[in-house]
Chains A and B, each alone.
Chain A
Amino acid sequence: MRNFLIKLGTIDRKFIFVLIALAVLIPLLYPNLIELPIKVDKNTKIVFNSISELKSGDKVLLSFAYGASTKPEVHPMAIALLKHLFAKDIKVYIVSLWPESPIMANQAIKEIIDTKLFNLEEGVDYALFDYKTGGFIVIKGIAENFREVYKQDHNGNLIEDLTIMDDIYSVSDFDFVFDFSAGVPGNAEWVQYACDPKKIPLSSGCTSIMVTDAIPYIESGQLKGILAGMPGAAEYEKMVYDLLQQQLNKNSNLNKDAVLTKGKALARMSAQSVSHLLMVIFIVLGNVSYYFSRKNN
């Protein structure tokens, strides 16, 4: 028994890879196999409540700063947030700070239109702006003068010709800013260069590894909560899904005939749960093996 436990410590890593692959693949292929209850985190609740407090006709600036590699983690929260905003008839303005982000923003809007939940008109309900190079300088530009940075929308329509752009001159004209990021520029740059100096409420959705860097801003109130990685996305998806289900027949902004579907992050959570549990089991086994091998030596 002791020898077996010691041998566990020198197990071939290919064996661990196979187990992890199975732990991820099986729940992804059969999402209904393991149904786990989603417990909503404090920070996700803050984000949800902050958005819920916005009024019809309010203006929200969304910053897309993620790409293909982090799409599975960040994109589901973007979809859920857009559903929440459009359900409240809030005007949405999307800027892209990464070269790949315009494609992400387009895909997010297309997914929302394909749900047939809302009757949306581009230039009236939402506006998309293309990628601008410069990172935090673009954020600084938006904070000072939006129209200096963007002269036209992504279709080439002049800002002056867009109804949605009436009264929008700088970040101060927005009621809320939401950042989706997977690196730099991200929520820290929005806090430092735009939202904190201009006192505009800001919230963020980011990858799990970015959360530790953002936590000081949340604790100081400079960020109104955070959607932290895949679990944050799943929690927010669940809250928005429950809300839309309640409002489907009452809310005039929602098409009653549309079919509500659960988001992708919810389905992915069981895969993440099982893989995390497997990692913890590996850690425990590794330590048992370490204990016996040290005793032998």
Chain B
Amino acid sequence: MFIKRQLAIVVMISMGFLALAGQFINSDNLREFTDKDAPQWYMIIAAFAAFLGCINLLQLHSTKVIRRKKDWQYSIFTLVGFLLMIFFGFLYNGSTVGLGPHLKNEFSAFYWMYNYVYLPLSSTMFALLAFFVASASYRAFRIRNFEATLLLISGVLLMLGRVPIGALIPWWTVIIIYVSILFALFASKIKNKQVFFYSYFGANIFILILGFLLGWHVNLPSFLSIPLIQEWIMAVPATAGSRAIMIGIALGVVAQSFRIITGRERSILGD
């Protein structure tokens, strides 16, 4: 109990304070510890953590199979795949080079398994995202309110702007998109449908004629080019959002680190 709780808390607090002190106290020994020793320790512990992870995976899935828990059949695949890769990684070589370097030798059994089994399977799993995104966007990207409309418009512009087909969309299509968005926002305010549709078509025709007179079909203004709109979305609103999230995360990290080095946060001990 003492080793699992009190000693662990003492180690956690003292290491936290030492690492923090290395950034503020001008001592060579302390700097040596934070810059050299602590990172080395971290790398050694991380290597052992990988080993522990393997044992944990074996334990978890073996128990699931033995006790016939829900979906235990999938665990058999996990265990077989795991043991097979261990066999080819540690016991069976298949190439002329020694064990160890054989992991990157294209004639070894391990490399064959990686290249022709794991790599296609892994890529397939990632590629499945395309199907789910397509299906989800069809059902979820709906003009429900102002925020959802903004998300939809920026999503569509980004999707088109990032691929070559976006550059092929003519300027007059972009004008129709702008006018449609504008009228979609004010649609609920105009009760008479006839007035609404006449003004919608009138606005489109007026701006298209204006575009021709201003020579937009020759010199394309940046607000009518979908790839340039996409670049602007990424450079301005997306950057602002990302920066806000980053600042939030940084403040959260400071608060959480303070809780850990003062011994208040004990979730890492399994509490």
Chain A CB within 10 A, most for which of B134, B139, B231, B234: B134
**A68-B118, A211-B234 known; A36+B168 contact, CB < 8 A:** yes
Distance to closest chain B CB from A200 (angstroms): 18
Distance to closest chain B CB from A232 (angstroms): 9
Q: Is the CB of B137 within 8 A of A140?
A: no
* A residues less than 8 Å from B141 (CB atoms): 283, 286-287
Sort chain B's interface into a size bin: 35 or more
Q: Which of B156-164, B198-206, B211-219 contacts A (4 or more CB under 8 A)?
A: B156-164
Interface assignment of B24: CB less than 8 Å from any CB of chain A: no
Q: Is the CB of A282 within 8 A of B137?
A: yes
Interface assignment of A186: CB less than 8 Å from any CB of chain B: no
Question: Which residues in window 37-64 of A have CB below 8 A to B?
Answer: 37-39, 41-42
Q: Is the CB of A208 within 8 A of B239?
A: no
Interface assignment of B39: CB less than 8 Å from any CB of chain A: yes
* A residues less than 8 Å from B246 (CB atoms): 216
Once the chains are docked, how many angstroms separate the CA of A148 from the CA of B37?
A: 11
Q: Is the CB of A71 within 8 A of B36?
A: no
Distance to closest chain A CB from B159 (angstroms): 5
* A residues less than 8 Å from B43 (CB atoms): 132-134, 137-138, 141
Q: Is the CB of A215 within 8 A of B130?
A: no
Chain B 112-126 interface 0/1 with A at a Cβ cutoff of 8 Å (1 = within) = 001100110111011
Q: Is the CB of A137 within 8 A of B42?
A: yes
A contact residues, total (Cβ < 8 Å): 66
* A residues less than 8 Å from B115 (CB atoms): 103
Q: Which residue of A lies closest to B139 (CB)?
A: A286
Interface assignment of A70: CB less than 8 Å from any CB of chain B: yes
Q: Is the CB of A41 within 8 A of B227?
A: yes
Q: Is the CB of B35 within 8 A of A20?
A: no
Question: Which residues in window 249-296 of A have CB below 8 A to B?
Answer: 269-270, 272-280, 282-283, 285-287, 290-291
Interface assignment of A199: CB less than 8 Å from any CB of chain B: no
6 sampled A-B residue pairs with Cβ under 8 A: A37-B167, A67-B122, A68-B118, A68-B121, A269-B164, A283-B138
